């Protein structure tokens, strides 16, 4: 009989329960594919007496995940609790120190402590795998570390927060304002316990930071990501963007430039007909660009029991098969410090400016753009309220410095009402 691979699972929420279900229902398939049975020795969660829809009676129970992580009958510790610090980090460290491999879905922990944990894993001769931490069921970590291992990666992009994509696409399809759809998403259980993680772009930023580390061989540098959430996106912007052939997405982009690593997570306009533009509801999409392969697009469910458990199991199966890939695709001690660079690459921008409805107002705005060296591609004015006129402008490619210059010019015109909205347009 081949030696089984023995799992200890900490965290029995949606993902943990999903993993237990796969181990139970696909036992034969996993044993055939992994070359050895995959079994669960023990589990741990905050509450023991709770119906999770799975039979846990044949597994030992541990109240303390750190104790679970150190058990002699655990080969792989599955950290499925979440949270950047606290029990998740303590148990992960304990597991590595006790000589266990670790599989985790915890993007926040790795985005903040990934380098130290990867070094600890290496020192202990163990691996940390985290397919489930990025874009749920999409095998993007594997695609980058293995499928594209022969490529120089030039750019990683993606819509990696399903909740934000749900909110933005629902606002558009139902013509509803942000707050109404936010409340709907909350009622559907889409939002994280701290909704800012989703709508503030932080959750997606964690994921981007992890992909950037693999793609560019740099230490994870979450703090360097320029992050802007979707809270300020109005139904007007969504409608106007649609009118001009665009859709608004919370888009993450990481690219290595001569000045350093650019990482940003922010609302962007993308062509409605592009792959990212067609992305509906809570689906995720990741676009990878390599010098040999060109562009590849991966699309799928970014959250939920089945998709996330599927990703956890892909890591478990690698370990069962004896495939041992370094946390970020190369030895952690060889990862370079990411030299962060402000994203300065020129791009077209969408501007929405509310103007006082009086003669010469629009001319003043056009002059401010001209003085900043910004050329107008398209311009529209919509039916307006009694005293203000909303004006939409799509610029030709321009830099953020020029845009800042123009904004300062707008402020001096004395015809602007409120703050202008500026959203970058990504041509894909
Ligand atoms: N809250 C995330 C999302 C899933 O909406 O995509 C977990 O990262």
- State in Å: Cα 161 to ligand 1 middle: 5
DSSP single-letter state for residue 374: P
pLDDT at 2: 87
The Cα 276–Cα 282 span in angstroms is: 13
- pLDDT tens for the chain, 428 residues long, are 589 999 999 999 999 999 999 999 999 999 999 999 999 999 999 999 899 999 999 999 999 999 999 999 999 999 999 999 999 999 999 999 999 999 999 999 999 999 999 999 999 999 999 999 999 999 999 999 999 999 999 999 999 999 999 999 999 999 999 999 999 999 988 888 899 999 999 999 999 999 999 999 999 999 999 999 999 999 999 999 998 899 999 999 999 988 899 999 999 999 999 999 999 999 999 999 999 999 999 999 999 999 999 999 999 999 999 999 999 999 999 999 989 998 778 899 999 999 988 889 999 999 999 999 999 999 988 766 667 888 999 999 999 899 999 999 999 999 999 899 999 999 77
Which among 100, 107, 142, 207 is annotated as catalytic?
A: 207
Atom of ligand 1 nearest to the CA of 203: 8
Record the pTM. Answer: 0.94
Atom of ligand 1 nearest to the CA of 192: 1
pLDDT at 38: 98
Atom of ligand 1 nearest to the CA of 303: 4
pLDDT at 189: 86
pLDDT at 385: 65
CB 24 within 8 A of CB 54: yes
Q: Which CATH architecture best describes the domain 349-425?
A: 2-Layer Sandwich (3.30)
The Cα 188–Cα 185 span in angstroms is: 5
Evaluate the CA torsion angle 54, 59, 61, 67 in order and state its sign. negative
pLDDT at 133: 98
Residue 159, phi then psi, degrees to nearest 5:
-100, 110
- State in Å: Cα 262 to ligand 1 middle: 23
SS3 assignment, position 281: coil
pLDDT at 178: 96
CB 345 within 8 A of CB 55: no
Superfamily of domain 140-301+335-341: Dihydrodipicolinate Reductase; domain 2 (3.30.360.10)
Closest CA to 265 of 149, 372, 111: 111
Sequence spans of domains, the chain: 5-104, 140-301+335-341, 349-425
Pocket, ligand 1, Cβ cutoff 6 A: 161-163, 192, 198, 203, 302-303
- State in Å: Cα 18 to ligand 1 middle: 16
pLDDT at 192: 86
**For this structure, is 207 an active site residue?**
yes
pLDDT at 294: 97
Question: Which residue's alpha carbon is nearest to atom 2 within ligand 1?
Answer: 161
pLDDT at 220: 97
Superfamily of domain 5-104: NAD(P)-binding Rossmann-like Domain (3.40.50.720)
- DSSP annotation string for 134-182: SSTTS-HHHIIIIITTTS-EEEEEEE--HHHHHHHHHHHHHT--HHHHH
- State in Å: Cα 202 to ligand 1 middle: 10
pLDDT at 1: 56
């Amino acid at each position: 009989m081949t030696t089984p691979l023995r799992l200890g699972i900490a965290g029995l929420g949606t993902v943990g329960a999903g993993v237990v279900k796969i181990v139970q229902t696909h036992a034969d398939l996993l044993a055939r594919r992994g070359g050895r049975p995959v079994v669960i020795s023990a589990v741990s969660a905050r509450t023991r007496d709770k119906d999770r829809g799975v039979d846990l009676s044949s597994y030992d129970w541990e109240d303390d995940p750190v104790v679970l992580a150190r058990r002699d009958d655990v080969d792989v510790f599955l950290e499925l609790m979440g949270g950047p610090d606290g029990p998740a980090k303590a148990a992960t460290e304990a597991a590595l120190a006790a000589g266990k491999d670790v599989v985790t879905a915890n993007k926040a922990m790795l985005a903040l402590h990934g380098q130290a944990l990867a070094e600890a894993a290496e020192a202990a001769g163990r691996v940390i795998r985290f397919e489930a931490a990025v874009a749920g069921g999409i095998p993007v970590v594997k695609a980058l570390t293995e499928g594209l291992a022969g490529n120089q990666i030039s750019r990683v992009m993606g819509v990696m927060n399903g909740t934000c994509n749900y909110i933005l696409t629902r606002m558009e399809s139902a013509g509803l304002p942000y707050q109404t759809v936010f409340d709907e998403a909350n009622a559907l259980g889409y939002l994280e316990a701290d909704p800012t993680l989703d709508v503030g772009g932080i959750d997606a930023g964690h994921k981007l930071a992890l992909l950037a580390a693999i793609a560019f061989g740099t230490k994870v540098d979450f703090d360097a990501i320029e992050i802007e959430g979707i809270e300020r996106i109005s139904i007007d912007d969504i409608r106007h963007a649609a009118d001009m052939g665009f859709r608004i997405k919370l888009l993450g982009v990481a690219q290595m430039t001569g000045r350093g690593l650019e990482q940003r997570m922010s609302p962007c306009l993308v062509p409605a007909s592009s792959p990212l533009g067609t992305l509906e509801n809570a689906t995720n999409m990741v676009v990878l660009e390599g010098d040999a392969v060109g562009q590849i697009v991966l699309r799928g469910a970014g959250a939920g029991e089945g998709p996330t458990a599927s990703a956890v199991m892909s890591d478990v199966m690698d370990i069962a098969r004896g495939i041992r890939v370094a946390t970020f695709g190369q030895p952690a001690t060889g990862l370079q410090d990411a030299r962060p660079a402000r994203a300065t690459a020129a791009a077209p921008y969408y501007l929405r400016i509310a103007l006082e409805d009086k003669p010469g107002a629009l001319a003043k705005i056009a002059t401010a753009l001209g003085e900043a060296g910004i050329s107008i591609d398209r311009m529209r004015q919509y039916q307006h309220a009694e005293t203000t006129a909303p004006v939409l402008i799509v610029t030709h490619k321009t830099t953020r410095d020029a845009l800042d210059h123009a904004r300062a010019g707008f402020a001096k015109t004395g015809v602007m009402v409120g703050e202008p909205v500026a959203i970058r347009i990504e041509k894909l």
